[in-house]
Amino acid sequence: MFLQDIDVIDVDLCVQQPEKFIAHTRASADLSAVTPYLNAMFRTAAYNHDDRSIRFTSDRVEYTIIREQVNIAKFANRTELHELLDWFKDLVNDIYDSRGEMTPMYECRKPVPVFFIYNLLPKTNCRMCGEKSCMVFAALLNKLEADIDACPPLSEPKYAENRHKLEVAFA
C-alpha cells in the first residue's frame, strides 16, 4: 500500500469558522506523487507545481497538502476527522494504484475573474440564489463555492447567451 497511515499531530479551532476544527497531520508517504492527479480531479484545486502542493475543497472540508504534511480544515469533531482521514487515505491509494490510466494536471486552473462573472449575471439582486446580491454570488462562483444553476433567472431565455458564456468559462 502506498499510503499506510496518517498521524494526527494536533487539532485546533478553525480561525475562519470558529465552530469548526483544523488538524495538522503527517502522512507516512510523500504525497507529491499524487497531487497532480488530485489537481485533475478537483475543480476547486489550487495547485503549485514548484513544490507540488495543493489545496482543494471536498464536501465543505478543506485539504492542504505539501509532501507528507496534510492539513484538514472545517470538520465538526475528531470522529469526523478520522472518517475524513480514512476517506482521504483510500482516495490517495486508489489514485496511486490507477495513476497509469489517469491524466495528471500540472497547471493551476486560472480563476474566472469576478467582474467577468458579474457582468454576465442578471444584476437584479433578486436573492433567489440565497445570496445578498449578484456581486456576492459572483464572488462565490469565482471561488467555485457556488454553482451557476443556483441562480434561477439565468435559466430564462433572455439570459441564454450569458449563461452559455459562463458555462464555457467554467468548463
Partner 1 sequence: MPIYLDNGATSYPKPDEVCGAMIEYMTHNGASPGRGNYARAMDADKLVYETRKALSKLLGAPRPGQIIFTCNATESINMALKGYLRPGDRVLTTGYEHNAVARPLKKLETERGIRVELIPCAPDGTLDLSAMRSLLDGGTRLVAAAHGSNVIGCITPLGEVVGTAHERGVPVLADAAQTAGAYPIDAAALQIDMLAFTGHKGLLGPTGTGGLYLREGVVLSTLKEGGTGGMSLSPFPPDDPPDRYEAGTMNVAGIAGLRAAVSYLMGVGVDAVRRHEVELTGILLDGLDSVPGLTYYGPRDTEDRLGLVSFNIEGRDPHKVSMSLDRDYGIMVRSGLHCAPSAHRLLGTAPVGAVRASLGYFSDREDVERLVRALKEISSRGE
- The contact set with partner 1 (CB under 8 A) reads 7-13, 18-19, 21, 76-80, 82-83, 86
Q: Which does 26 bind (CB under 5 to 8 A by kind): ligand SF4, partner 1, none?
A: none
| Nearest alpha carbon to residue 73 among 152, 143, 122, 18 | 18
Instruction: Give least dist CB 43 to ligand SF4, A.
Output: 20
Q: Which helix (H) or strand (E) holds 131?
A: none
For partner 1, which is the closer residue by CB, 18 or 157? 18
Q: Which does 134 bind (CB under 5 to 8 A by kind): partner 1, ligand SF4, none?
A: ligand SF4
Residues 111-130: x where in contact with ligand SF4 by CB under 6 A, - otherwise, as a string: ----------xx-xxxxxx-
CB neighbour burial string for 134-155, b if at least 16 within 10 angstroms, e if fewer? bbbbbbbbbebebebeebebbe
For ligand SF4, which is the closer residue by CB, 17 or 155? 155
Quote the CA–CA distance of 121 and 70 in Å, as a whole number. 37
Q: Is 153 in the site for ligand SF4 (CB under 6 A)?
A: yes
Distances (CA, A) of 107 to 46, 94, 114, 117, 168: 9, 22, 21, 22, 19
Strand order of the β-sheet with 46-48 is: 6-13, 21-27, 69-75, 61-66, 53-58, 46-48
Instruction: Give least dist CB 11 to partner 1, A.
Output: 6
Q: Which does 128 bind (CB under 5 to 8 A by kind): ligand SF4, partner 1, none?
A: ligand SF4
Residue ranges that bind ligand SF4, judged by CB under 6 A? 121-122, 124-129, 131, 134, 137, 151, 153
